[in-house]
Amino acid sequence: MLPRLSDNHVIPEKIFKMKVKCAAQVFSQRVSSTMNFLSSRNIISPDAVDTAFLCQFFDNLFDSLNGSFDKIVDGKKYRTAVKKNSPHHELWDQSLKILSTMRFIDKNGKTTSVPTIRNWISTIKSFQTLYKVLQSVNIRSFLPRHINQDSLENFFGAIRSVGSTNPNCNAFIMAYKTLVLNNLVSPQSPGANCEEDFTEGSLSSFRNLFDKAKHFQTKTSTGINTAADFSETTNQLSLTTAFVQGQTKTFIAGYILKKLNKDLFKNCKYCLSLLCSTVSNDHDHQLISAREYKSSYQSLKYPSLSLKSVVHNIISYVGKKMPVVCHHEHIFYNLCNDVHNIFNFDDILNCPEHHKIFPIKIVEIVVKLMINHYCTEINRILLGKKKVRPNENDPIKKIANAWHLKHSKRKVQGKFNLVT
């Protein structure tokens, strides 16, 4: 009846005390309604009705502080935004009364006061105050989920995974930078939409931010503010975009350089001196430095300007060609040939030992990277993990998106059929 409940939920010695999930699974509508049903049929003691009430009570209270949808989803009326006429206010008032009369009794039969109840009360009171404050500055709706500690905990968890478990201020800043930049150039998508600019797609999250900012600006003029209003940061961010764009390009060139060195010139001094930047602590190389922090044993390479532009040119060219040739045979071979016919690599490297093999290798590496990347992109669109831009002109991506929309609709419909 309750497949999710295990010993770890109910037997005191076995309960996972730090897992909120376990508590949430016990104090749930499902447990509550099952208990009510069983006690009404006299299968369990009729007293269970009170326990069922308690489960439902905490389920509602938990939902009311964890709302992440504007509208009611799955009949959870408390897991919504807090607004003027939302049911939260009544629930909170009632809950304060109930919680203030709750008592814990210890082994010796004495009444004790436990922090849990006190903290519930102060949390609810804080939310009530917060709502009043937000309303006074014309913010009429907010989602409690955005205020809870989860995001903060996740953030600290991520920081620890990058740096040390107990970072000092400096290490914290470095780890934060690494996370932000890593996020924009994640390994499976070293630059998303390639047809216009290799780095553009990795910035889509930033662009979404601008679009949202604009959206909220227009809303502000009608007098409605929302808690997610961040229009004042727009100007700052456009500077950041240019910066990140440059950093990403450099990073990708650095990645290619490292691979070339490993496969081809194996620390040949002549090659490295031509392809590496002499200034390693350059403004341009902050992303590489930030990444290096993550794995200090692995020394990354700092690409020179000429290498950077070669890599970028190949990427732009292959990115433009991909939608046209991706369904043809031998794309790797053909793309490599095309690139060799169009670009001239003669004056980049004149190392006597490697100058012949260098153009072949660099083209192979970049073309392979781009094909893999393109396939990943298409797969992500098919799975609905990535949305195509409204002005998308890549026919393959459009088809992939249409396929996804067609199949996802069917799923949603199935779900509704199940519910009703």
Q: Which is nearer to Zn ion, 47 or 346 (CB)?
A: 346
Rounded Cα distance, 392 and 382, in Å: 15
The yes or no reply on residue 194 touching Zn ion (CB under 5 A) is: no
Interface map 230-269 toward Zn ion (x if CB under 5 A): -----------------------------------x--x-
Rounded Cα distance, 305 and 52, in Å: 68
The yes or no reply on residue 308 touching Zn ion (CB under 5 A) is: no
Q: Which is nearer to Zn ion, 15 or 276 (CB)?
A: 276
Q: Which is nearer to Zn ion, 244 or 311 (CB)?
A: 311
Phi, psi of 8 (to 5 degrees): -65, -5
The yes or no reply on residue 307 touching Zn ion (CB under 5 A) is: no
The yes or no reply on residue 362 touching Zn ion (CB under 5 A) is: no
User: Rounded to an integer, what is the distance from CA 248 to the centroid of its chain?
Assistant: 18
Q: Which is nearer to Zn ion, 244 or 274 (CB)?
A: 274
Q: Which is nearer to Zn ion, 174 or 351 (CB)?
A: 351
- Cβ 259 to Zn ion, closest distance in Å? 15
The yes or no reply on residue 293 touching Zn ion (CB under 5 A) is: no
The yes or no reply on residue 158 touching Zn ion (CB under 5 A) is: no
Candidate list 53, 216, 243, 270; residue touching Zn ion; CB under 5 A = 270
- CB-based burial label for 246 (10 Å; 0-12, 13-18, 19+): middle
The yes or no reply on residue 358 touching Zn ion (CB under 5 A) is: no
Candidate list 351, 362, 366, 369; residue touching Zn ion; CB under 5 A = 351
- CB-based burial label for 92 (10 Å; 0-12, 13-18, 19+): buried
Tokens standing for residue 13: 């010695």
Candidate list 9, 354, 386, 404; residue touching Zn ion; CB under 5 A = 354
The yes or no reply on residue 357 touching Zn ion (CB under 5 A) is: no
Binding segment for Zn ion (CB under 5 A), chosen from 166-174, 290-298, 350-358, 404-412, is 350-358
- Cβ 355 to Zn ion, closest distance in Å? 8
Contact criterion met (CB below 8 Å) for 194 and 319: yes
The yes or no reply on residue 37 touching Zn ion (CB under 5 A) is: no
Contact criterion met (CB below 8 Å) for 381 and 400: yes
- Cβ 374 to Zn ion, closest distance in Å? 31
The yes or no reply on residue 339 touching Zn ion (CB under 5 A) is: no
Q: What is the DSSP string of 66-126?
A: S--BSS-BTTBTTSB-B-TTSTHHHHHHHHHHHHHH--EE-TTS-EE--HHHHHHHHHHHH
Tokens standing for residue 102: 């709750």
Tokens standing for residue 378: 């298409």
- Cβ 352 to Zn ion, closest distance in Å? 8
Q: How far from 399 is each of 332, 345, 388, 394, CA to CA, in Å?
A: 22, 36, 10, 9
The yes or no reply on residue 275 touching Zn ion (CB under 5 A) is: no
The yes or no reply on residue 345 touching Zn ion (CB under 5 A) is: no
- CB-based burial label for 413 (10 Å; 0-12, 13-18, 19+): exposed
Residues that bind Zn ion (CB under 5 A): 265, 268, 270-271, 351, 353-354
